Each structure stands twice: as structure tokens, then as C-alpha cells.
């Protein structure tokens, strides 16, 4: 009479902690032309290369060709003159502070200090989240997937030129 059926359920979850991969963020707009220094630098490079800083459209294909040619000249000048190590040249591109709108890792806010900057010829300033600095500092880890785990970033990509 006092005997009741019992159901027991046992689940085993294996929780492994894994190193979160490095995530690289680059902007296709290598130079920030909202910055007056960038515009002045580009005008200087083009003028010293005997090119007009103003593109007069003749046809859309030709104008696109000129924009790509001019950007190639400007980027190669910036890269070759200082090999991307000058703070002035770094200042011509986007900084992590100017593109990082919001950042969360494992549900906690992350900041620009969580990113390592390097210079790419093609993309200008690039930033790595969870970069192995080689100094023994621990890399970020994850133990589960889902909307509150891992990296969530909102970025400003700049205006198309």
C-alpha cells in the first residue's frame, strides 16, 4: 500500500575545457579616410608620385581601376617606408578603439586591451583576439558552446570609399 514506483535518471556530461582559437579582425578599408592625417598623407603620396589626388570619372571601369591603382601606391608607400612599425602609419588606419563597438567573451565584457595589433600590407591594422604572446600568459578557454559562450563582437567597418 505504501510502495510507490520510483524512476531515477542519471546523466553524465563530459565537460572539457578547450583553448579558444585566436580570432583575427581586419578591415577591408586599410586606411581611415575620415582621419584628416590619412587624407593629407594620401594626397602627399599621390602628388610626389606625379599623380593627381582627384579622379575624374570617364567610365566606371576606368575609375575603379584608378582607385585600386592609387590605393596600391599609397599602401605600398606606407608599408615600404616604415615597414608598418611607425605609430604615424598605424594612425592612418583604423584603431581597435574606433572599430570595436562591443565585445563579450564567455558572457563578460572584453576591451581593446584584449586585442593584439599587427600591420598587414593588404588590410592595414589588424587585430588578434586571444593572441599567444609567448610570455607564458594564459590563453582564454571555453567549456561549452552557446550564445553566452565564446566571442561576440560588434564592429564598425567604416564607410565605403
Tell me the CA distances in angstroms from 37 to 33, 40, 144, one per residue in order. Answer: 8, 5, 45
Give the three-class secondary structure for 41: helix
* CA dist., res. 69 & res. 41, Å (int): 16
Q: Kindly give, in sequence order, each residue whose CB lies less than 8 Å from that of residue 87, ignoring residues fewer than 6 positions away.
A: none
Q: How far is CA 54 from CA 61, 64, 71, in A?
A: 16, 13, 13
The pLDDT tens digits for 115-141 are 999 888 788 899 999 998 777 677 898
Which tens digits make up the pLDDT trace of 17-76? 888 999 999 988 888 888 898 888 888 888 888 888 887 777 767 778 888 888 888 887
Amino acid at each position: 500500500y505504501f510502495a510507490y514506483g520510483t524512476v531515477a535518471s542519471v546523466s553524465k556530461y563530459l565537460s572539457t575545457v578547450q583553448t579558444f582559437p585566436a580570432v583575427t579582425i581586419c578591415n577591408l578599408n586599410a586606411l581611415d579616410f575620415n582621419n584628416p592625417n590619412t587624407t593629407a598623407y594620401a594626397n602627399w603620396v599621390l602628388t610626389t608620385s606625379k599623380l593627381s589626388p582627384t579622379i575624374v570619372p570617364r567610365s566606371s571601369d576606368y575609375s575603379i581601376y584608378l582607385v585600386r591603382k592609387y590605393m596600391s601606391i599609397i599602401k605600398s608607400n606606407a608599408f615600404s617606408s616604415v615597414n608598418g612599425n611607425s605609430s604615424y602609419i598605424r594612425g592612418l588606419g583604423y584603431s581597435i578603439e574606433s572599430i570595436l563597438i562591443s565585445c563579450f567573451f564567455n558572457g563578460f565584457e572584453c576591451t581593446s586591451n584584449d586585442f593584439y595589433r599587427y600591420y598587414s600590407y593588404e588590410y592595414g591594422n589588424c587585430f588578434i583576439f586571444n593572441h599567444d604572446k609567448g610570455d607564458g600568459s594564459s590563453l582564454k578557454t571555453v567549456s561549452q558552446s552557446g550564445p553566452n559562450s565564446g566571442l561576440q563582437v560588434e564592429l564598425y567597418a567604416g564607410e565605403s570609399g
